[in-house]
Amino acid sequence: MDNTRVEIITIGDEILYGQTLDTNSHWISGEIDKLGFKVIRKTTIGDTESSILKAVQEAGERAQLVLMTGGLGPTNDDLTKPCLAKYFGMDMSFSPDVLEDVTAFLTSKGREVTEPNRKQAIVPVGAKIIRNKNGTAPGMWFEKDGKIYVSMPGVPHEMVEMMTRQVIPDLRAYFQTGLIYHKVVNTVGIGESWLADIIQEWENGLPLHIRLAYLPSSGMVKLRLTATGDNMETMKKDVAQRVETLKPLIEQYIFGYDNVKLEERVGQLLLNQKKTLGLAESCSGGFVSHLITSVPGSSRYFKGSIVSYDNAIKMGWLGVRADTLNEHGAVSEQTVVEMAENARKMLGTDYAISISGIAGTDGGTQEKPVGTVWLALADGQSTITRKVNLGIDRAINIKLSGINALNLLRQRLMEIL
């Protein structure tokens, strides 16, 4: 059932007040999407009876499945359980099974069972109880007029465990979903609309059981192919075939599949080719080094970085000539060339990348506005340079400088340049 409509309700004053970031609905959305269901709305409400009753009623009018988190704790401000009992017209009664679970959980932590904990064993009669393996508040599954309502604790790891072990398998069975298979093709260095243009014909030729989604993030676009069906082998084969026909169209932009990161791909290429890398970073302040060294085993190919933020360091440590800086400025092709070539020699590496730019928010001029970034890649034979014009957001400029630097090296190592 591909079109099962889902709503998520997160309950808790702390989310409304900005004290807690609602990560629950974000995680649930991803899981629900994988099931092939469609999340149509998310609502966050406070811990009051009227807002809980109203939100559940409204969500139930629009969706076939309503997933709720929060407000199941033992304290008086947690109202979800009695509200739901009221909404579904159920009495509350003591459940020895739930008390046993609560007692076992607390004992395993060396804690005593308090009166408020005992209250957690009072549950709506007629609701299916979902055991909580990571906490004391049980979850609840309600059925009304062919619609399902699930209430889970607000504590993220309790909710995640409950969803994964119990709720998702039960939803699959109840809604008789088919199987879902995702394959993600990761691209860098091309915008979403250009990509869409190149692959339009291929996209139009996709069969009905394979859908394509564009998932853009800064500097990158993920293409996600989702197959639905009841035979996983066939679905995987069909998707693999489509990926094969997609590849030649955008080969130069693809850096990997599924969860692979650009820095991992670059590391793998350096390792395969037994090459080493050094960096000279100015505006990115060490961010590219951070990306590279976030990959386990990077010490096998990464030698180090000179973060030459100040011109004195560019001259004193990297040997950039004073004339170059005076004539062309720190953000210039000539400067990044000297930075990369000298860094390569100083660090004794096969490749060196340099970056110098105006990250913002101030420091821009008419000739060189904020977002102007120069990159160079030296390999001892030649030095390639690139100028990129980014935006006005400092954090994004630093991130995109890093992605551009890694992509330049990736292209060089793949001999696309």
Tell me which of 22, 238, 263, 338 binds ligand ATP, using CB under 6 A.
Answer: 22
DSSP-derived secondary structure letter, 113: P
For tokens 């408020």, name the residue: 116
Q: Is 36 in the site for Mg ion (CB under 5 A)?
A: no
Strands 277-281 and 302-307, bridge-based pairing = parallel
| Binds 158: which of ligand ATP, Mg ion, none (CB < 5-8 Å by kind) | ligand ATP
Q: Is 12 in the site for Mg ion (CB under 5 A)?
A: yes
Q: Which two tokens stand for residue 378?
A: 């030296």
| Binds 291: which of Mg ion, ligand ATP, none (CB < 5-8 Å by kind) | none
Rounded least distance, CB 127 to Mg ion, Å = 19
Q: Which stretch binds ligand ATP (CB under 6 A): 107-115, 148-156, 308-316, 386-394?
A: 148-156
Q: Is 71 in the site for ligand ATP (CB under 6 A)?
A: yes
Q: Side chain identity at 127, as an amino acid letter? A: A
The CA-atom distances, in angstroms, between 376 and each of 129, 280, 305, 370, 406 are: 61, 10, 14, 19, 11
Q: Which is nearer to Mg ion, 21 or 312 (CB)?
A: 21
Q: Is 402 in the site for ligand ATP (CB under 6 A)?
A: no
316-335 residues near ligand ATP, rule: CB under 6 A: none
Tell me which of 64, 69, 305, 407 binds ligand ATP, using CB under 6 A.
Answer: 69
Tell me which of 36, 60, 73, 189 binds ligand ATP, using CB under 6 A.
Answer: 73
Rounded least distance, CB 291 to ligand ATP, Å = 28
Q: Which stretch binds Mg ion (CB under 5 A): 11-19, 96-104, 138-146, 171-179?
A: 11-19
The answer to whether 71 and 154 are in contact (CB under 8 A) is: yes
| Binds 137: which of ligand ATP, Mg ion, none (CB < 5-8 Å by kind) | ligand ATP
| Binds 305: which of ligand ATP, Mg ion, none (CB < 5-8 Å by kind) | none
Q: Helix and strand tally (H, E) in the chain?
A: 16, 17
Rounded least distance, CB 88 to ligand ATP, Å = 18
Q: Is 161 in the site for ligand ATP (CB under 6 A)?
A: no
Q: Give the number of other CB atoms < 10 A from CB of residue 240.
A: 11
DSSP-derived secondary structure letter, 300: G
Element (H, E) at 140: strand 139-144
Percent helix, strand and coil across the chain, each rounded to 5?
45, 25, 30
Q: Which is nearer to ligand ATP, 74 or 178 (CB)?
A: 74
Q: Which two tokens stand for residue 193?
A: 């609309």
Q: Is 51 in the site for ligand ATP (CB under 6 A)?
A: no
Size of the site for Mg ion (CB under 5 A): 2
CA 62 to chain centre: 28
Q: Is 36 in the site for ligand ATP (CB under 6 A)?
A: no
Separation of alpha carbons 59 and 102, rounded Å? 30
Q: Is 12 in the site for ligand ATP (CB under 6 A)?
A: yes
For 261, residues 6+ apart whose C-beta sits below 8 A from its C-beta are 295
Rounded least distance, CB 76 to ligand ATP, Å = 11
Q: Which stretch binds ligand ATP (CB under 6 A): 66-74, 194-202, 263-271, 380-388?
A: 66-74
DSSP 320-383: --HHHHHHH-SSSHHHHHHHHHHHHHHHT-SEEEEEEE--SSS---SSS-TTEEEEEEE-SS-E
Residues that bind ligand ATP (CB under 6 A): 10, 12, 14-15, 20, 22-25, 69-73, 78, 135-137, 153-156, 158
Residues that bind Mg ion (CB under 5 A): 12, 71
